Amino acid sequence: MTSTAETGTRLQKYRLKKWISPTAKPMSKYSSGNYSNQQVRRRGTNVTDRESVRWGILGTANIALKKVVPAMLRSRLSRVVAIASRDEARAQSAASSLGIPRAYGSYEALLADPSVDAIYNPLPNHLHVPWSIRAAQAGKHVLCEKPIALSANEARELLVVRDRTGVQIGEAFMVRTHPQWHEVRRLIANRRVGDLRLVSGHFSYYRRDPSDIRSQVEFGGGALMDIGCYPIMLSRWIFGAEPIEVIADLERDPEFGVDRLTSVMMRFPSGQATFTAAGQLAPYQKMHMFGTAGRIEVDRPFNPSPDFPAHVIVDDGRVETIDIPPVDQFMLQADRFSEAILGTGTVPATLEDAIANMEVIDALVRSAESRRWGAVPSAAPRAAAPR
């Protein structure tokens, strides 16, 4: 275990590298996200329009109300100025409980609000591209939930609009901003485990609710889309390459038709990645990276607590647990994306990367249908290397 002093030094190091925004407040009791906009503003921040991004929220999704908006309220680079729902009363209720100044009874009204700079899109998966396109056409930057689309081809439609409108568009893969993954990449780059040969992951939960968006085939439901997208993205990021070919077995819920137990193998140029994603299985998450000289384990790879240290375990003959100081990855995501809009940073999970991830998901579905290995078509032109 690292000592407290070492941990403090490590935090400084992360701040210097901007993995944690220098503007972020230290984690405290309000990291749980139960504070309203007004409460947070009263804590002495002095935000002007030129220093922060004015966000509008599309819909009253759970992830928005419980994680992303509270995290934006803690980010000095973000202000949440409006929220919309298909139901005006729902919008008003969410606005008053979170302290958001304006509530709209339609998504169109939110996009017409000239005081909104950027839209957070946490709609069901089949509405990601259509509403992100409409937001971009209204001149708004867009942070869109994962997975970005129903297919790579659909995601490319968004790329065309982004390039035409010049707005920033990113995928809300909050794990990309968590310092634990930057630590893993640093360890691998420093050859701490020798040659990286295998990335292995597991992500599961149990939820069988017919009304859940994840239970609807036409909404892009199922485990592969909902959570399999994480180990795919992380394997690609860690190998720094696209898989050449993939194979998957998808077991579908007999009533809902969405995949509920999906196991995958991906062949990369320098190794393999495997994972299981499941929506009707005991909850568990873990990622392992195996090299020729050791292994790295990420204890809580996808949603580490914002209130406790995250742990990266390295075993190269000697077992070391690296404590990563508590951070709210949703707040880091808001900071990073706001920096990209303000011109002081770059989008942490780019649309090009999102399209490449969708290429893999498409190939996995084709493989499961054909019962064969399938090639992954070359990815769309890639953006600058991820930070």
Ligand X SMILES: NC(=O)c1ccc[n+]([C@@H]2O[C@H](COP(=O)([O-])OP(=O)(O)OC[C@H]3O[C@@H](n4cnc5c(N)ncnc54)[C@H](OP(=O)(O)O)[C@@H]3O)[C@@H](O)[C@H]2O)c1
Binding site residues, ligand X, CB under 6 A:
59-63, 85-87, 90, 122-125, 127, 145-146, 172, 174, 213, 226
Please say which residue, 132 or 322, places its beta carbon nearer to ligand X: 132
Least distance (Å) between residue 276 CB and ligand X: 18
CB of 333 to ligand X, least distance (A): 8
- Give min distance, CB of 132 to ligand X, in A: 11
- Report in angstroms how near the CB of residue 318 gets to ligand X at its nearest: 34
**Rounded distance, CA 299 to CA 75, Å?**
26
* Comparison of 174 and 289: residue with beta carbon closer to ligand X: 174
Q: Please state, in angstroms and rounded to a whole number, the distance separating the CA atoms of residues 380 and 30.
A: 40
Specify whether the CB–CB gap between 52 and 79 falls below 8 A. Answer: yes
Assign 3-class secondary structure to 12-26. HHHHHCCCCCCCCCC
CB nearer ligand X, residue 226 or residue 328: 226
The nearer residue to ligand X, 59 or 271, going by C-beta atoms, is 59
Smallest separation, CB 198 to ligand X (Å): 26
User: What is the torsion angle, in degrees rounded to the nearest 10, for the CA atoms of residue 375, residue 132, residue 147 and residue 188?
Assistant: 80
Nearer to ligand X by Cβ, of 100 and 187: the residue is 100
Structure tokens at 190: 């420093």
Q: How far is the CB of 343 from ligand X (least distance, A)?
A: 25
The rounded distance, in Å, linking the Cα atoms of 117 and 123 is 18
Q: Which is nearer to ligand X, 188 or 278 (CB)?
A: 278
CB neighbours of residue 165 within 10 Å: 18
Is 82:101 a contact under the CB 8 Å cutoff? Answer: yes
Is beta strand 295-298 parallel, antiparallel or unpaired with respect to 310-315?
antiparallel
- Residue 92 or 272: the one with the smaller Cβ distance to ligand X is 92
End-to-end CA distance of the chain: 27
C-alpha 128: how far from chain center = 14
Distances (CA, A) of 9 to 257, 308, 321: 50, 17, 16
Q: For residues 175 and 230, what is the distance between their CA atoms, to the nearest angstrom?
A: 8
Shortest distance in whole angstroms from residue 124 CB to ligand X: 5
For ligand X, the closer of residues 117 and 226 by Cβ is 226
Our CB check for ligand X shows the closer of 11 and 177 to be 177
CB of 85 to ligand X, least distance (A): 3
Give the chain's count of helices (H) and strands (E).
Answer: 13, 15
Side-chain half-sphere CA neighbours of 10 within 13 A: 20
153: Cβ–Cβ under 8 A, 6 or more apart, which residues? none
Residue position matching structure tokens 């050791």: 294
CA angle 207, 208, 214 (to 5 degrees): 80
Q: How far is the CB of 369 from ligand X (least distance, A)?
A: 23
Residue 96 beta carbon to ligand X: minimum distance, rounded to whole angstroms: 14
Residue 3's Cβ-side half-sphere holds a number of Cα atoms within 13 Å equal to 2
Q: Measure the CA–CA gap between 165 and 140, rounded to whole angstroms.
A: 9
Smaller CB separation from ligand X, 63 or 281:
63
